[in-house]
Amino acid sequence: MTKKHSNQPHGTNDLVEKILLDKNEVFADVLNGFIFNGQQVIKPKMLANTNTLSYYKANGKIHSQDRDVAKLLTIGKKKVVISLVGIENQTRPDKNMPARVMNYDAAAYRYQLTKSKNLYPVLTLVVYYGKEAWNYSRNLLGSVNMKKLPEEMRPLISDYEIKAFYRISDLSAKELDQRFKSAFFCLAEYFIQTNAGEEYHPSAKELSVEDIMLLLDMMNALSGTHAFDELIKELEKRDKNEVTTMTEVMPQFIQVKLDRAKKETTDEVTAKVTEKVTKEVTKETTEKVTRDHLINILNTTNLTPDGAMDLLGIPEADRPMYKDLLKKTGDYHD
């Protein structure tokens, strides 16, 4: 059963990263875009849902591992399975990625062995959205310490390679337009632009409101922000099947952000002015009260101004100021 837009909080990475790609048309678009350079080889109807969760035993305990999203690739009216394909989203380089992919693939093969003696191939695509270069090896042995192993044994150690590795920022705008047709186009476009240090300026690609919400959810999750939460809330008021574009909804959103920023700036300036005025008023009031106390003491005792200030505990550094105040009122003379 296809997952639908959840009512859980937006930006929950493990959830939203799966929902957009779990749509067959988007999953097929990713395969066609990366593997077949945009040719429409994989049709959405060729994809079927499968379990993404697998289990393994370690240290006497049962552990689970969950792929981001996976589909069975089928052919014919009888839906004969010819492959299991998984997609893993990465926002940061991970030196252990080859081992992780190997674990996912091995679990899929292990599951097949419990069902049949005939195995179908398992393929895992790693889609990297990050800005920094992926400087880790994409081969298992590239991250394994072999230095202490006898040289004779080293060639016997099996390797495992991530062959389907795709970095979003390696795509040009022209390639992007040629390869992707679904909402994934806008997701890739967003990371290509922002990774280059540019502001996001979306293309006028027509999408349903539901797809735009799923897209914005995933942009939030992969970028680690809640930048688009308010826009998602606004879109939730619309018909989910309405067709629109990011170029139509983004200007409204940007204006809201500008208005809020302006208000926050105004509020901040007002707060600082109020704080400054308050401090000035407090300082002025304190000085007036202290001066009045000094005058009262001088009028009712035989103390000198310094003696009166000693009584009030006025610091030496402040005394010249109070003497000037007393001079102005005629209550002190040198």
pLDDT digits (tens, 9 = 90+) for 43-89: 999 999 987 654 444 455 544 456 889 999 999 999 999 999 999 99
Residues 6+ apart with CB under 8 A from 4: 19
SS3 109: helix
Of residues 311 and 167, more confidence is placed in 167
* Burial of 199 (C-beta count, 10 Å sphere; 0-12/13-18/19+): exposed
Q: Which residue has the tokens 């929950």?
A: 12
Per-residue exposure over 208-234, b if at least 16 CB sit within 10 Å of its own CB, e if not = bbbbbbbbbbbbbbbbeeeebeebbee
Confidence tier at 301 by pLDDT (50, 70, 90)? low
Pairing of strands 47-49, 69-75: antiparallel
Confidence tier at 259 by pLDDT (50, 70, 90)? low
- From CA 187, how far away is CA 33, in angstroms rounded? 13
Calculate what percentage of the chain has a pLDDT beyond 70.
Answer: 76
pLDDT(119) > 50: yes
pLDDT(297) > 70: yes
* Burial of 125 (C-beta count, 10 Å sphere; 0-12/13-18/19+): buried
Pairing of strands 69-75, 80-90: antiparallel
The model carries a pTM of: 0.69
SS3 153: coil
Closest by CA position to 164, among listed 83, 230, 233, 232: 83
99, 137 contact by CB (below 8 A): no
- From CA 267, how far away is CA 111, in angstroms rounded? 60
pLDDT(271) > 70: no
Phi and psi angles of residue 128, each rounded to the nearest 5 degrees, phi first: -105, 120
- Between the two ends of the chain, the Cα-to-Cα distance in Å is 95
Phi and psi angles of residue 224, each rounded to the nearest 5 degrees, phi first: 70, 30
45, 29 contact by CB (below 8 A): no
Report pLDDT digits (tens) over 6-29. 344 333 445 555 688 999 999 999
